[in-house]
Structure 1
Amino acid sequence: MNLQDYIKSIIASLSWLSKQVEFHNKLNLTDINVQAENFYRDLLNLSLNTSFININSIDQNSAAIDLGDQKNRIAIQVTSTSALSKTKKTVTKFIEKKLHEKYDRLIILNISKKSNHTPPTIGDETFKINTKNDIWDIGDLIKKINNLKLHEIESIKTFLDQHLYVKPTESLPRNVDTILRLIELISNEDHPAIGEGTLEEPFPDHKINQRFSDHADFLKSEFFTLYQDYGAVLNAVEKESDISQVKIRRVAQHLRLSSDTLLTKNDGDPKKALTELMDYFLDLLQKNGFEADTGAAQFYIMQHLVRCNVFPNKEVVDG
């Protein structure tokens, strides 16, 4: 969950910065491009474990490149122009200045948005770049960050939080986020219960009115009260989010096993077992640093009770 939060924050931050560059350039306010050189120098060094320096701070007349790492022999041009003519000009200057003798690779980092060039390579027999692998934009950088270790990704998020003047504040409503996080938590493929059990046809009438007849009024009242507030939320989350069917099956499998264990532990009392099940998941969310919407979490578990994934019907038992 921390990884997902960090990546979402990094995407939001870099996307916001990319738009700022785009808008500034449309107004011919190009100072932001110059300021971006040092920003991306530090960001790339964090992300790629490199030692880039700002070449322009050493040589004001430097051509073709803005950042250089002589140890790893990589050069980068930081630009907001994606035209093919600009790319050709950059490579031509790189060769003319014999920079290929210092650097084995030239990367063009577009801080706005790159274009997909038709030629697979640009240059000549002396030096050439691969237009697919050597031209990056924010999307390419995020993919590379996503493959880093958790502590490295956290450092990048912290760097962005500290250096960006405006921090995006968009977030999901807490009830929606609670349900999504519960699904991610319960469907974790590393959980030992994953792959066990099969889904049954649900018989909520038999379950609630017959098997748990002593508690039927409580269970139905609890479900319908929560449904008024969270029914539409859950329906929207399941229809509009990118939750896979695999995750939905995993949720069902885990809930069946864990709820059955708790029901046995509580001598068949669904009220006690349900409370313990909800407390268990709310506690896990809290340990993962998320303050859940308790009602949304409770309704999600109750919905699975009606679907017979909580307290699965092994047989119909009269009250």
Structure 2
Amino acid sequence: MNRSKYFEYVDEKIHILAHRINTRGKLNILNLHLHSENFYLHFFNLLFDFQLVNLNSSAQNVEAIDLIDHKNKIIFQVSATCTKQKIESTLTKDIFKKYKGYNFKFISISKDATDLRTKTYSNPHSVPFKPSGDIYDITSLLNIILGESPKRQREIYEFIKDELGEDVDIVKLDSNLATIINILSLEKWDDSNSDDSYNSFEIDRKIQYNELDDAREVIEEFCVYYKKVDEKYTEFDLLGANKSNSVLNSIRKEYRKLKKTDNKDDVFFETIESIKSKVLESKNIDDIPIDEIELCIDILIVDAFIRCKIFENPKNYNYVTT
């Protein structure tokens, strides 16, 4: 069957949630994990007709178990840690003695779990658990949704829209952001495109001045592409007056909405997420994989940081080498 607009929306929103969970230091991971537990509780109840409840709502921090369905005798662990060791550690917990005969299921909320479904696990309490069918990840869930009828996809779409975001614009907007992403996506972002035309000392000074700790690694990784991005902006401006300014102003506008947040690292990474949402809403984004879009946006945000478009500049800041 063709991928419906409802499935496309669900795909995008669940991947965005996973990206936020999986990214180093970008959000309060504890709060986001708790939100994910409740999200997947309702999501699985809708998708599989389970009757899951959140065990942590009645007993805080229950080991090994996050969600439980007493009628169908199902136990779920919702985890951002996707390893064999994590699952085996869970299966050793004595709490399974209390729920003898309950089927254990594991959901990886941030990473692909394909490899885990092929492994054999130590299971000292003989908990009913079949890795091939009891380990879920985003890809496996999306494949299930893809096989649903358009009516069921619509139901899931409505739920996702209420939980994770607004409706999809049927007519998407033109976006200079999307156009520059298309241009950048054609580049091979490796050492061949790096350069030393930026002042690393000054950039480090700006990082310290704005108290960016978690964002430092991203800035240091992508600042080496400053010259290449500058070349691409020049190329982009040939398509029309001030097109690069339009892109940089869009980034600055999103940053200004978020800058009052106390944690500056959160501001940096939320700006990235906000720009990604704008790009994905554009009708003129090519069929670029989401990871490539994210790479290009990281590069653009770091470039905007270097160019003084976002965050405060220390006194006499000069980002270009002389």
TM, length-normalised to structure 1: 0.48
Q: Which has the larger radius of gyration?
A: 1
